[in-house]
Amino acid sequence: MEVLRSRIDVFGVTEPRVGRYENNQIIIEVPGDNDPDRINSFLSGKSSLYFVLVDDDTTTRLIEEVKQNPAWNPETDGVPDYVPAGTTIAPYITKDRYGIDKRVRWIAIKEDISESGLDGKYIVGARLGQDPFTGRPLVNFELSSDGSERFARLTRNNIDSSLAIVLDNKVRAYAVIQTEIGDGQGSIRGFSQQEAHNIVLVLRTAALPVNLLVSSQQSVGALLGRDTVMAGLKAIGLGFLLVMLFMLVYYRGAGLIADIALLLNLFFIFSILSVFNLTLTLTSIAGLVLTVGMSVDANVIIFERMREEYRLGKSPRAIVEGSVVVYSYTKIKFGIDFEGGARFQYEIPAVTNAAAVKEVLQKYSSVVVQKVKSASTNGFLIRVVYDNTKDFLPRVEKGIHQLLVERFGDQIVLQETAFVGATLSRTLAFRTIILIVGTLVLILIYLWFRFHISFAVASIVALIHDVLFILLFVGIVGIEISSATIAAFLTVIGYSLNDTIVVFDRIRENRMLMQNHELHVIVDTSITQSLSRTIITSLTTMMASAAIVLFAHGEIRNFAIALTFGVFIGTYSSIFIASPVYMFLQKKNIRTKKSNAPAATSGEEKGKTPDTAASSMGAVDIEAIKRDIGWKKKSTKKKKR
């Protein structure tokens, strides 16, 4: 399963589905229907590559054999008696002038790779290249350090012998070893552009331990029907117009500039999607709508800072420069991606629209219906999430069949029934958790060095608060945990962290400007100063996500619901969770320093009056503040004229 996933990932498609099927079968769903035969050959190909020594004497006799009998073929006529044990015969394949495979000769190669060759498992990299002399495609490969040593030893001990590069039991390259090859790099010729590209993709992934056979192949309709697509476009358009109108009304001329930047942002996004031929999915469409709301964030930060500087009476040049520099327990329901479920294929002659079938099956909240593209029949794939009961499959099959018969009559035909495993394996889910935890650790380290450990810990506490509250929310409203919901979690983490850093950056700045004030006053002032920016950014983001909630359906709507709530919770935690936690940690740190400080014993200290002592204890530790925020004293030396 993991090998297939890695091959599909390297192939370049977006959000494929790979799940276990009954009777040792695997179901693979890939977006798009271009060249399915190529995808089949790529996924099922084992592509075993190895380097092996050639038996030159036997090869010479084989060449003579073919000269005497051009039609001779060892696969049909048998292996000659003069071929020694431990030697096998493989065809040497090259391309003719028309790009068609042509067998040049038969080559006798050693069978024992451990002694006379090198296995392809030592290949750590492969890339597509071009022959500088002929312009034909090359497959360039790179060996690991262990493989390089083995290859160097193999070539050093067999100079003047022939070495063959064998791919899928066919000799693709064949040359005499003239010197030791110790750089661990090489290339293979003799492929068309498409073949070379496929070989590079396969060599980058692990080899399949078994042979795969394609039992059936179907082209199914899009998970998003035409109505859903139109609803998504309406959501994008509405969110786009709301954000642009708000910026124009609230900021006027500056808002017009921000709107132009937003248009350019979308232009570049669509250009990149087009250049790299990327696939638009549920999550990516929702992310595009979110981009409309979030792309004005930097403009809002700068504009709010400019307003503040303007109120302080600074010149326009100083305002712009300063602004840009400063801010350069409810049960959780898991979806079919995690739990697996039942898969039924029906033929329903009276129906042509998947939405009509799904409307009949509203009893099953997690049902997914897709139309099977066929010229002769109206086929539909119906999937329902597994509910952890023993009689799940027969019970759901009976219930669905009864509902369909009541609505569409007895002409419906159940063509196939099966239980499908989860498309997101436990291994992949575990890796996702590790990735999220690792990301939080990196965030902690960055904030530690960029700000202070108190800022870092407070940010992580706020992020954990956000994720837990979103989990509680989706459990209460009954939203299933799917890949789209996970994407919403990750988006909220980034959004909330961005909000928190803006507040913390203002706190750090104000600690230098308000050195004679109490910490809680500094924090309250910083929150107030950044409040308008926080509210405006949250409002523009929620405009875009709310548009999806109103117009979209299915997973994309669940994504938007979780995201809208997450934006609200993220904004709340940035103000009411992260900042108080920071204050608590700072006060605890101050108390610890005071308790560890040595008692005053000098005559000067003993002679202090109570008023003087109180004044000393209440003084602000300027040096500690400077260390916390990484402040460095600017040079005051004047240049000589």
* Span 341-420 CATH architecture: 2-Layer Sandwich (3.30)
The residue to which tokens 């995201």 are assigned: 563
Task: Note whether 354 and 225 are within 8 A (CB).
Answer: yes
Integer Cα distance of 437 and 606 in angstroms: 52
**Residue 608 confidence (pLDDT):** 43
- Least confident piece of the model among 99-108, 167-176, 220-229: 220-229
Once rounded to an integer, what is the mean pLDDT over residues 111-120? 73
pLDDT at 114 over 80: no
To 5 degrees, how large is the angle CA 107–CA 108–CA 112?
A: 130
Does residue 281 carry a pLDDT above 80? no
Contacts 24+ apart (CB under 8 A), 16-19: 17/337, 17/423, 18/423, 19/340, 19/420, 19/421, 19/422, 19/423
Rounded Cα gap, residues 254 and 300, in angstroms = 10
CATH of domain 226-331+427-585: 1.20.1640
The per-residue pLDDT for range 6-15, each reduced to its tens digit, is 555 555 555 5
Kindly report which listed range (151-155, 317-321, 601-605) carries the lowest average pLDDT score.
601-605
Torsion over CA: 360, 366, 371, 377 (sign): negative
What 3-state class would DSSP assign to 624? Answer: helix
Residue 69 has pLDDT above 80, yes or no: yes
pTM of the model: 0.49
CA pair distance 422, 383, nearest whole angstrom? 12
Per-residue pLDDT band for 2 (boundaries 50, 70, 90) equals low
Q: How much is the average pLDDT of 197-215? A: 60
Per-residue pLDDT reduced to its tens digit, 338-375: 556 667 777 777 776 777 777 777 777 667 777 766 55
Which residues 6+ apart lie within 8 Å of 424 measured at CB? 337, 338, 483
What is the C-alpha end-to-end distance of the chain, expressed in Å?
Answer: 74
State phi, psi for 498 to the nearest 5 degrees.
-60, -45
Higher pLDDT, 528 or 452: 528
Per-residue confidence band for 549, with pLDDT thresholds at 50, 70 and 90: confident
Residue 2 and residue 428: Cα distance in Å, rounded?
9
409: number of Cβ within 10 Å? 11
* Measured CA angle at 207 (ends 205, 208), to 5 deg: 120
Span 73-101, pLDDT tens digits: 887 888 888 888 888 888 888 766 665 67
Task: Give yes or no for a contact between 52 and 170, defined as CB atoms under 8 angstroms apart.
Answer: no
Q: What is the pLDDT of residue 24?
A: 63
Give the chain's count of helices (H) and strands (E).
24, 17
Every domain of the chain and the residues it spans: 46-203, 226-331+427-585, 341-420
Domain 46-203 = CATH 3.30.1360.200: yes
Residue 635's pLDDT is 47
